[in-house]
Chain A
Amino acid sequence: SAVISQKPSRDICQRGTSLTIQCQVDSQVTMMFWYRQQPGQSLTLIATANQGSEATYESGFVIDKFPISRPNLTFSTLTVSNMSPEDSSIYLCSVVKQYEQYFGPGTRLTVT
């Protein structure tokens, strides 16, 4: 399996500000994903972040709003920019290791 940590675990932010979420994995992985989970809902893929290439965004998500960095094989960041209350969600990173997909503990974001 993979041990994944995320920082911060939760935050309360003001409308119009930005928050950067960090994801750290205990081993090198090629494929990393960022998901959003709105309260009581399922998981929605935001983007795929592979090291050495630009992130690939899903329909409805754009780089200006959710810029992603992937500087190495164990680390990635997701920034939620110019936040509005609609961005209040749990943000999860996940990695593929030995064909299985594992999730981090999530970052619970509340925008006021």
Chain B
Amino acid sequence: QQQVKQSPQSLIVQKGGISIINCAYENTAFDYFPWYQQFPGKGPALLIAIRPDVSEKKEGRFTISFNKSAKQFSLHIMDSQPGDSATYFCAAKGAGSYQLTFGKGTKLSVIP
């Protein structure tokens, strides 16, 4: 499977700040890019997802920005809260398949 590169590995943000997590991919056949949020001891929860025909998608405080030419996408968390402290995984799905390729994850800590 093609790799999805995620950065940073860890991130510390003050309450009220913006958290930004970046992912890059190589396989141009990917056609769906979800983000998952995982709290300790829990399974990953689907947070937000985007398709490559859209450059941005916003749901509440969470926004995905997608740059098809650069093969990059990012998650922005506005007004970050301590309750957002979790590990975030980006992923990508190949066309004609439901298998996901995951990034290595970003551990976000939002401090008061």
Real binding pair = yes
- Please, which residues of chain A bring their CB within 8 A of the CB of B99? 33, 45, 48
- CB proximity of A54 to chain B, nearest CB, Å: 17
Question: Does B102 interact with chain A (Cβ within 8 Å)?
Answer: yes
Size class of the B contact interface (CB-based, 8 Å) = 10 to 19
- Please, which residues of chain A bring their CB within 8 A of the CB of B44? 43, 92, 103
Question: Within the assembled complex, what's the spacing in Å between the Cα atoms of A105 and B40?
Answer: 10
- CB proximity of A58 to chain B, nearest CB, Å: 8
Q: In the complex, how many residue pairs between chain A and chain B have their CB atoms under 8 Å apart?
A: 43
- CB proximity of A23 to chain B, nearest CB, Å: 11
Chain A interface main SS type: strand
Contacting pair A103 B34 (CB below 8 A):
no
Size class of the A contact interface (CB-based, 8 Å) = 20 to 34
Write the chain B residue with the least CB distance to A90. B43
- 27 pairs of residues in contact across A and B, judged by CB atoms under 8 Å: A31-B98, A41-B104, A42-B89, A42-B104, A42-B105, A43-B89, A43-B100, A43-B102, A45-B99, A45-B100, A48-B99, A92-B43, A92-B44, A96-B98, A99-B32, A100-B46, A101-B34, A101-B46, A101-B93, A101-B98, A103-B36, A103-B43, A103-B44, A103-B45, A105-B43, A106-B41, A108-B41
Measured CB to CB, the residues of B under 8 A from A are 32, 34, 36, 41-46, 49, 89, 93, 98-100, 102-105
Measured CB to CB, the residues of A under 8 A from B are 1, 4, 31, 33, 41-43, 45, 48, 92, 96, 99-106, 108
